[in-house]
Amino acid sequence: MEGLDESLVAAHLRGDPAAFRELVRRYGDGVLGYLCRMTGSRDQAEDLFQETFQRVHEKARSYRGGSFKSWLFTIATRVTIDTVRRRKRLAFLSLNRDTDCEDDPPLLETAVAQDAPDPVEEAVKEEQKEQVRRAIESLPLGQRAALVLAYYQQLSYPEVAEALGCSVGSVKTQMSRALAKLARKLPDSVDVTP
């Protein structure tokens, strides 16, 4: 896959607009989902999405091969952080309410064993989802970004480290702290694994 990404970037640099469209097609949903989780607003996420791919276009010459996905998420993360710094009051993802990013997979996936779910069981599951959303919302930005990139975008720790501009050890520390905070905030009955 990395070889294909590298050839698409090379084709884009030669002026092939179809190559860039293919990169957006391949990675756009994941980037938009990540940005929705980081901002909680589809409108803000779409603005950051546009800015992310604008930077990808502008900085394509700086791509040196390797994991295009982690390079792309590095740019998306920096765009998000830059926006936070500029706005100072950017409202981050309020995970205790429904967001307008409905196409994303749920933060807490639960298996439903029956065709017709029990209303009480469904209410309990919804309450657990809300508890997880509130707990994730309370995490510092770095911990939240590491958690979202590792669990929801399924990047490896080295890819998360590259995206966040830190060491793998720092990612492990961020993840450990995030999971410890989630464990303290959530009742034992709530499963936090994706």
Q: Output 112 or 31, whichever has higher pLDDT.
A: 31
How confident is the model at residue 100, as a pLDDT? Answer: 54
User: What HEC string does 36-91 produce?
Assistant: HHHHCCHHHHHHHHHHHHHHHHHHHHHCCCCCHHHHHHHHHHHHHHHHHHHHCCCC
Lowest mean pLDDT among 7-16, 19-28, 54-63, 86-95: 86-95
Q: Please name the amino acid found at residue 13.
A: L
Task: For residues 90 and 39, state if they share a domain.
Answer: yes
Q: Please name the amino acid found at residue 122.
A: E
Task: For residues 61 and 128, state if they share a domain.
Answer: no
In this structure, is residue 99 part of a structural domain?
A: no
In this structure, is residue 66 part of a structural domain?
A: yes
Task: For residues 74 and 127, state if they share a domain.
Answer: no
From residue 67, give the alpha-carbon distance in Å to each of 8, 11, 12, 27: 13, 17, 17, 12
Q: How far apart are CA 132 and CA 36, in angstroms?
A: 16
pLDDT by residue (tens digit) across 100-111?
555 544 433 333
Lowest mean pLDDT among 13-27, 78-92, 101-115: 101-115
Task: For residues 182 and 121, state if they share a domain.
Answer: yes
Residue 81 has pLDDT above 90, yes or no: no
Task: For residues 78 and 164, state if they share a domain.
Answer: no
Task: For residues 84 and 118, state if they share a domain.
Answer: no
In this structure, is residue 100 part of a structural domain?
A: no
Cα within 13 Å of Cα(140), Cβ side: 10
Task: For residues 78 and 141, state if they share a domain.
Answer: no
Distance of CA 93 to the CA centre of its chain: 11
Task: For residues 62 and 115, state if they share a domain.
Answer: no
Q: For position 66, which CATH number holds?
A: 1.10.1740.10
Task: For residues 129 and 158, state if they share a domain.
Answer: yes
Average pLDDT over residues 10-24: 92
Q: How many domains does the chain have?
A: 2
Q: Which of 72, 94, 116 is the last residue of a domain?
A: 94
How confident is the model at residue 120, as a pLDDT? Answer: 73
How confident is the model at residue 113, as a pLDDT? Answer: 38
Q: Please say whether the beta carbons of 84 and 90 come within 8 A.
A: yes
Residue 98 has pLDDT above 70, yes or no: no
How confident is the model at residue 108, as a pLDDT? Answer: 35
Task: For residues 141 and 193, state if they share a domain.
Answer: yes
Most confident of 56-65, 78-87, 93-102, 115-124: 56-65
Print the domain residue range for 68. Answer: 1-94
Q: Which two tokens stand for residue 60?
A: 């394509």
**Four-residue CA torsion sign, 170, 81, 37, 165:** negative
CA dihedral 113, 116, 118, 124 (to 10 degrees): 60
Among the listed residues 131, 130, 171, the one whose alpha carbon sits nearest the alpha carbon of residue 149 = 171
Task: For residues 76 and 136, state if they share a domain.
Answer: no
Average predicted confidence (pLDDT) for the chain = 79
In this structure, is residue 117 part of a structural domain?
A: yes
Task: For residues 141 and 166, state if they share a domain.
Answer: yes
Q: How far apart are CA 74 and CA 77, in angstroms?
A: 5
Question: What is the pTM assigned to this prediction?
Answer: 0.68
